[in-house]
Structure 1
């Protein structure tokens, strides 16, 4: 596990365990979120993982104006609060502007800074000042060192409860690749590191104005992340990905999660 801060205690866990951050791309309904949370709050602890439910309450960086942005901020945050209460699980969601931070911090246990916003100083300082756990996504255009500089901005507030997440690097205009050297490079900064195995398989900027991807490589990227030293895995999961209005091409179907987690548990030495 990471040599950085004792992050399991951030969640009130007594012992160190690999982290699983997983859930649908965006809050669509309570029912969809609950199906994912019910399965993973049961499965993850059985296999030795600490589990955090994730879902964006709003998608603020869609390619086109017609892209689905959400069901409404208030309703989505209420659903996240229900998931947290009904399943006893920490929740993670994104923030996009400083004005959003106070309201989101009332619900979320982990505030996520999206990759495209990873250098926004005011936003980084704002999330840091909440004292909440922060997940900083390394932008597709950033080196590991640049991501560590961004983490320094958060830490300058006195809040060092920071995760860094690797999610791939632009390879031309319409593809991403993962430089797995970034995982030990990020960990060298003293922060725990997650591998985002679903966003890393995206194919952005397509002519259709929709982000595509290669879901077939999600399990491979997750396993490679563990081998490279990631402290946990970030997955977007959905009962029927093809029916989702966001990231339909890359989310992992719910029925493929258990075999993957069993394999990851083996790699982590949990089984």
Structure 2
């Protein structure tokens, strides 16, 4: 599947599995790059996306260290702020979510220097066909993006201090 996506010639946002260690994304990104190279395509069309890790049943947690670790892939790192608050199977027959934590996790991710943030939104999340419990209400998106944009500018201006902690 990774090879087929990589050989499409389109940008591909590759999500880290909920069970995968962040450093293992290097292997996934390398596989995509090799597939692109084999097809004579650019090798820089891939993003590494963090979406949280399984923590017991019906819960995902986001370890912000994973964003810095995934940067070592050389691919832009994206944080999936809405799937990171998902509660898989948390409603018994469907997944739940804790959308109130999207702003908290999105701000934390932007402060690590991610290249992008993925967020699902809907005018009325309760009526969304999927992912409603973790979707950001559309009326709240502008304010959230404004805060994230300011934080992103500050973070990128400051650089990555962790690179100096050897």
Q: TM-score, normalised by structure 1?
A: 0.53
Cα pair 1:154 1:160 within 8 Å, conserved: no
Structure 1 unaligned residues grouped into runs of 5+: 1-122
| 1:187 counterpart residue number | 71
Q: What is the CA distance between 1:269 and its match in structure 2?
A: 2.0
Q: Which secondary structure state, in structure 1, belongs to the residue aligned with residue 48 of structure 2?
A: strand
Match status 1:248 vs 2:126: no
Q: What is the CA distance between 1:206 and its match in structure 2?
A: 3.0
Moved over 4 A (4+): none
Q: What is the CA distance between 1:207 and its match in structure 2?
A: 5.8
Structure with more helix by fraction: 2
Whole-angstrom distance in 2 between the partners of 1:207 and 1:219 = 22
Deviations 1:240-270 (A, max 9, x none): 1100121110100000001101101110228
Cα pair 1:174 1:204 within 8 Å, conserved: yes
CA RMSD of aligned residues (A): 1.2
Whole-angstrom distance in 2 between the partners of 1:259 and 1:206 = 28
Whole-angstrom distance in 2 between the partners of 1:220 and 1:168 = 14
Count the aligned residue pairs. Answer: 148
Structure 2 unaligned residues grouped into runs of 5+: 38-42, 155-166
The higher-RCO structure (CA 8 Å, 6+ apart) is 1
Q: TM-score, normalised by structure 2?
A: 0.85
| 1:202 counterpart residue number | 86
Whole-angstrom distance in 1 between the partners of 2:93 and 2:30 = 34
| 2:48 counterpart residue number | 164
Cα pair 2:25 2:73 within 8 Å, conserved: no
| 2:159 counterpart residue number | none
